[in-house]
Amino acid sequence: MQSAASWHTHERYREASEGKDELWDLRGILEQIVTRVFAIDLDLIRRPTRGRARVAMARQVAMYLAHVVCGLTLTEAGELFGRDRTTAAHACQVVERKREDEPEFDRALQLLENVTKVLVYAPPSQDCSDLE
C-alpha cells in the first residue's frame, strides 16, 4: 500500500506532467539514469527489440522507476518505452523479485529511486546572477 507521502509525490508528478512533452522529458531522464548505471548505449534501450539481457534489465528498471517512483500507470509506463501494460507489469515483477533475491541490487535500486526523485521533482535551479 502507498504511503500518503508517496501518493502526494506521485500526484505532484501527474499535475506537472499534463502534456506529452513532460512525459518525453521523463523518458529522457530515466533513459539517461539507467544507461549510465548499466553501462549501455542509449540507442540500445530505445530499440523495439528486447536485446541482450543487460539491455532488457535496464529497460525493465526504467519502467519500474516510471511506475513506482513517478506514479505512472502500468499502461503509461509501458507506452513511455514503446511497450504495453503487460510488459511493464512483467518488468516490475522482475525487478521486485531481483530486489528480494539480491541485497546489492536492492541497495542500488534504492539509490536509483532517490536519484530519480531528485531529477524529476526538484525545482529548477535558481539563477544566481542576481545574488552578487
Q: Is the pLDDT of residue 73 over 80?
A: yes
How distant, in Å, are the alpha carbons of 20, 29, 63, 67 from that of 35? 22, 10, 13, 18
- For the domain covering 19-120, report its CATH number: 1.10.1750.10
Prediction pTM value:
0.77
Cα–Cα distance for residue pair 58/52, rounded to 1 Å? 10
Q: Is the pLDDT of residue 76 over 90?
A: yes
Whether 47 contacts 54, CB under 8 Å: no
pLDDT tens for residues 23-40? 668 999 999 999 999 999
Ordered by start, the domain boundaries in the chain are: 19-120
